[in-house]
Structure 1
Amino acid sequence: MYLGLDIGTSGVKAVLVSEGGAILATAARELALSHPAPLWSEQDPDSWVDAAIGAVDDLAARHPREVARVRGIGLSGQMHGATLLDENGRPLRPAILWNDGRSQAECAVLEQRCPSLHAMAGNLAMPGFTAPKLLWVARHEPKIFARVAKVLLPKAYVRYRLTGELIEDMSDAAGTLWLDVGLRRWSPLLLHATGLDLHHMPRLVEGREASAMLAPEFTRRWGMAKDVVVAGGAGDNAASAIGLGAIAPAPETAVHAFCHALPGLWHQMGVMLSAAASLAWLAGVMETPAAALLAPLGERVDGPSPIRFLPYLDGERTPHNDAAASGAFVGLRGATGRTQIVQAVLEGVAFAARDNLAALSAASGPVAELDLVGGGSRSPLWAQICADVLGIPVHRIEEGEVGAALGAARLGRLAVTGETPAAVCTRPRRLASFTPRASVAEAYDEAYRRWRALYPALKETP
């Protein structure tokens, strides 16, 4: 048996996977976010640990015999979050998360201090990454910065609490701007640009490597053997790729170029800061569950909503790299109804995905089809809208909602068995396919053209 833990932004997911690769059970715990100032997004690091332990407690209570047979654990996690520890291994402040936009000015400073940043780190400096966050702390919270002994990413902090070891995998480390992604090692030059050195960094391992052993406190708690291996794991996007079986070599150029969770591989991605979170936000504002908002629309719509929505609730990364970008509804009228607003949110996210698809295609060639993962993959309606907007087939896949946790479990297995990735990282079964409809293609192309005009127009609005 193998266990996968995904340390997300809105919650922690745990999956229990059999020797044959089937998911036997899942558990989840919700997490709270804090936004104490405009552009800020923070979380209590200990809440990740409590949620992870609680999720496994749940699995152990419902499936004690299966959990007792777990041999390997893999970790996946939200990327970029700056978790600052003192010399005693305790957090100095709330973690500054991936969707925090306060460090825009520090990005410019970092680019100026290190002209070779892009070539070494594989990415431009953006507020979401970890390194600019440390420059912000050094500037605005110098007393805290002076006490920083280690900087960890979210899943590395959970690993530390579960094993006592300070370790990070390559894929998550690639999102810090401190990793030389070509050499797959920390860069003293990039660290120096933020006032840090190698002593502040955890040890690096590949995602499929054994990184540490689960501490006796937890093997006893969950009735496991004493020799449970914890794999290096992966950042959530790389883990999702492992869950999808996306392990073939990729081009070297990309919108974001990160190390993959497997040795000798890199992966590429465009990043939206609010996708399914946009629907969750609307559900919260309307005090109505997301499923109830979607139900009146059915499984397909006849064409675009007359309302346009920019899903930049936390800024945007691809293609704008603008932490100050904001969300907006345009076209509201007295006759506008709830279903039109809900549809506009779904379409706004799909239009932003089309921006990402265009950026990725420009970097590495056309994309012919897509598999959907994450919470939004549950909705046939949203899948059909995505197919119509993107102009390519999209597929709902088996266990797509827990793709990152499944990928983590697979890495846990590889760390134990030493099998080849191809034998373990198989592609999931497709449950349903959605193809673009010619009847709405022209209308969606026009709606996308009009939607794209919103960002530059609103950017000029004070």
Structure 2
Amino acid sequence: MSYLGIDLGTSGLRALLLAEDGSVIGSAEQSYSSEHKHPGWSEQNPADWITALEMAVAELRGSHSEFTDLRAVSVAGHMHGATLLDSTGDVIRPCILWNDTRSDIEAQHLDAMPGVREISGNIVFPGFTAPKLLWVKAHEPESFARVAKVLLPTAYLNYYLTGDYVADMSDSAGTSWLDVSGRAWSDTLLTAGQMSETQMPRLVEGCQPAGTLRPDLAANWGVSGSVFVAGGAGDNAAAACGLGALNEADGFLSLGTSGVLLAARDGYYPAPDSALHTFCHAVPDRWYQMGVMLSATDSLNWLGQIAGKNPSDLTRNLGDNLRAPGRVQFYPYLSGERTPHNDASIRGSFTGLGKDTDQSDLTCAVLEGVAYGLSDSYDALAQTGVSIDRLIGIGGGTQSRYWVKLIATVLDVPIELPQDGEFGAALGAARLAMIAGSGASPEDILKPPRIGERVLPDSNMAEAFNAAKIRFRAAYEHLQEISSRRG
């Protein structure tokens, strides 16, 4: 038997084929683009997702005979997108993506309504799905009048695979229509968003069968027998499944373009005032919480562009041993900030510059600023009662051991780096397919990766970085005041 995991990313689709023992058979990738017709807009044509999926499947089928023994499929992908379908199942307009900010006014309106935060467990951010539909109603009333179903991007692929409107809990938790504690559509939230439950897909857990592959699609793919389609997951829930972050306090740090600090939870502990996301996990009776900063490695990439240097060269020149925090500080709010500030308008800055400031000072300040920003999420998580004693580190930024040691020191928690191998959302999706297709328990399938290196905090530097972190946070209010005056 083989199992297919699909990671529907913002810039491309990745398909991963696993053997019955969980080993990787092969993978295939296809890219597509987004449209940005106006500032703050971000859209994609769902037909491009289907084309990418079919091309990836054709590549896997042509390269690996094991594909014909396909037992189950699962889709993970970017959350919050609004794919609008009419009564015939046709797409009405391009999908409005997670990073589209046009519905800021509608998000503020929903967020202020009684009960919305309490039931959804989250602030209503402009990127969430519900405010997008209010924007469509206000600005594209003819399209809104035709909406028979609203599907998240992963649910749209589920529809293509099964012919049924079905979505999983983890992805649906980011709509502002789901009762995240009760794991069901909320009449109160739907009414607030001027939608109805008839416009929502059927809900299943991410590791449960959502349906079976359409017979015509199975024939086209060259597979026989009943092929299960699992519920799937939002991208971060799937990444947690790929890393084995299943039980209370299992967590990971993703140091990519944005920064994510995630912890699995055995219960529901919402903290919307801190701008933490509290979502259903991809398995029953579990949730996860995460803090998000919008410019992690993006901050280092920006400095590299300014300096005309490769970001890896900037960090490599620092050596292996941590330097004490200096006078220069960097505030990594190049695109605003999410956790815990929920401030879309704030922008970054350097402070403490002098004639003696050199490139290495700026690099250290950027790395430190990102670390302090991540510590805000770490502390917000701690305030919900979770006790994290280690984190798995993933993402391009973890290639810099200096940066990993710095973050471990600022957070005062060891960071474990997986051995070279497969992990992440595509693996998580394939593992969910294995559970749905085999009936195995999540605990038997969702195992952590082998660890190649464990980076410990530098106890000799802890006091100095704690003091610098306090200065960083004290200056935030002043920076926020300046940003608000500038508009």
TM over 0.5: yes
DSSP 3-state at the match of 2:478 = helix
Tell me the equivalent position of 1:133: 132
Q: CA deviation at 1:183?
A: 2.2
Tell me the equivalent position of 1:49: 50
For the pair 1:322 / 2:321, whether they are aligned, the reply is no
Cα distance in 2, alignment partners of residues 149 and 450 from structure 1: 52
Q: TM-score, normalised by structure 2?
A: 0.85
Tell me the equivalent position of 2:23: 22
For the pair 1:154 / 2:153, whether they are aligned, the reply is yes
Are residues 333 and 429 of structure 1, via their aligned partners in 2, closer, same or farther at CA, if it must alter by over 3 Å? same
Are residues 16 and 348 of structure 1, via their aligned partners in 2, closer, same or farther at CA, if it must alter by over 3 Å? farther
Are residues 202 and 361 of structure 1, via their aligned partners in 2, closer, same or farther at CA, if it must alter by over 3 Å? same
Q: Are 2:77 and 2:235, in contact at CA under 8 Å, matched by a contact in 1?
A: yes
Tell me the equivalent position of 1:425: 446
Letter in 1 for 2:53: A
Cα distance in 2, alignment partners of residues 30 and 371 from structure 1: 28
Q: 171-180 vs 271-280, which deviates more?
A: 271-280
Cα distance in 2, alignment partners of residues 24 and 414 from structure 1: 18
Tell me the equivalent position of 2:209: 210
DSSP 3-state at the match of 1:160 = helix
Q: CA deviation at 1:295?
A: 4.1
Cα distance in 2, alignment partners of residues 352 and 102 from structure 1: 25
Q: Are 2:242 and 2:424, in contact at CA under 8 Å, matched by a contact in 1?
A: yes
Q: CA deviation at 1:158?
A: 2.3
Are residues 69 and 101 of structure 1, via their aligned partners in 2, closer, same or farther at CA, if it must alter by over 3 Å? same
For the pair 1:357 / 2:356, whether they are aligned, the reply is no
Cα distance in 2, alignment partners of residues 214 and 282 from structure 1: 47
Per-residue Cα deviation, 1:29-87 (whole angstroms, up to 9, x for no partner)? 3443444444444333333333333333333343x212222211121111112222333
Tell me the equivalent position of 2:462: 441
Q: 30-39 vs 170-179, which deviates more?
A: 30-39
DSSP 3-state at the match of 1:271 = strand
Are residues 280 and 159 of structure 1, via their aligned partners in 2, closer, same or farther at CA, if it must alter by over 3 Å? farther
DSSP 3-state at the match of 1:93 = coil
Structure 1: unaligned runs, 5 residues or longer:
none
Q: Are 1:76 and 1:155, in contact at CA under 8 Å, matched by a contact in 2?
A: yes
Are residues 302 and 286 of structure 1, via their aligned partners in 2, closer, same or farther at CA, if it must alter by over 3 Å? closer
Per-residue Cα deviation, 1:326-355 (whole angstroms, up to 9, x for no partner)? 344445566655555444443332222110
Letter in 2 for 1:101: T
Tell me the equivalent position of 1:121: 120
DSSP 3-state at the match of 2:460 = helix
Q: TM-score, normalised by structure 1?
A: 0.89
Q: CA deviation at 1:408?
A: 0.9
For the pair 1:95 / 2:91, whether they are aligned, the reply is no
Tell me the equivalent position of 2:110: 110
Cα distance in 2, alignment partners of residues 179 and 69 from structure 1: 36
Q: Are 2:60 and 2:67, in contact at CA under 8 Å, matched by a contact in 1?
A: yes
Are residues 107 and 335 of structure 1, via their aligned partners in 2, closer, same or farther at CA, if it must alter by over 3 Å? same
Per-residue Cα deviation, 1:146-204 (whole angstroms, up to 9, x for no partner)? 22222111211222233332210011111111111222211122112111111211111
Are residues 314 and 300 of structure 1, via their aligned partners in 2, closer, same or farther at CA, if it must alter by over 3 Å? same
Are residues 104 and 216 of structure 1, via their aligned partners in 2, closer, same or farther at CA, if it must alter by over 3 Å? same
Q: Are 1:372 and 1:400, in contact at CA under 8 Å, matched by a contact in 2?
A: no
Tell me the equivalent position of 2:231: 232
Q: How does 1:43-442 map to 2 (within 5 A)?
A: 43-62=44-63, 64-113=64-113, 115-216=114-215, 218-248=217-247, 250-254=266-270, 255-279=276-300, 290-291=311-312, 294-299=315-320, 301-304=322-325, 307-331=328-352, 339-398=360-419, 402-442=423-463
Q: CA deviation at 1:211?
A: 1.2
Q: CA deviation at 1:140?
A: 2.8
Are residues 333 and 154 of structure 1, via their aligned partners in 2, closer, same or farther at CA, if it must alter by over 3 Å? farther
Q: Are 2:45 and 2:94, in contact at CA under 8 Å, matched by a contact in 1?
A: yes
Cα distance in 2, alignment partners of residues 93 and 283 from structure 1: 38
Q: Are 2:3 and 2:73, in contact at CA under 8 Å, matched by a contact in 1?
A: yes
Letter in 2 for 1:110: L
Letter in 2 for 1:146: A
Are residues 144 and 376 of structure 1, via their aligned partners in 2, closer, same or farther at CA, if it must alter by over 3 Å? farther
Cα distance in 1, alignment partners of residues 24 and 320 from structure 2: 27
Letter in 1 for 2:25: L
Are residues 70 and 142 of structure 1, via their aligned partners in 2, closer, same or farther at CA, if it must alter by over 3 Å? same
Are residues 377 and 224 of structure 1, via their aligned partners in 2, closer, same or farther at CA, if it must alter by over 3 Å? farther
Cα distance in 1, alignment partners of residues 233 and 460 from structure 2: 41
Q: 267-276 vs 146-155, which deviates more?
A: 267-276
Structure 2: unaligned runs, 5 residues or longer:
249-265, 271-275
DSSP 3-state at the match of 1:364 = coil
Identity score, percent: 46
Q: CA deviation at 1:287?
A: 7.3
Are residues 313 and 40 of structure 1, via their aligned partners in 2, closer, same or farther at CA, if it must alter by over 3 Å? farther
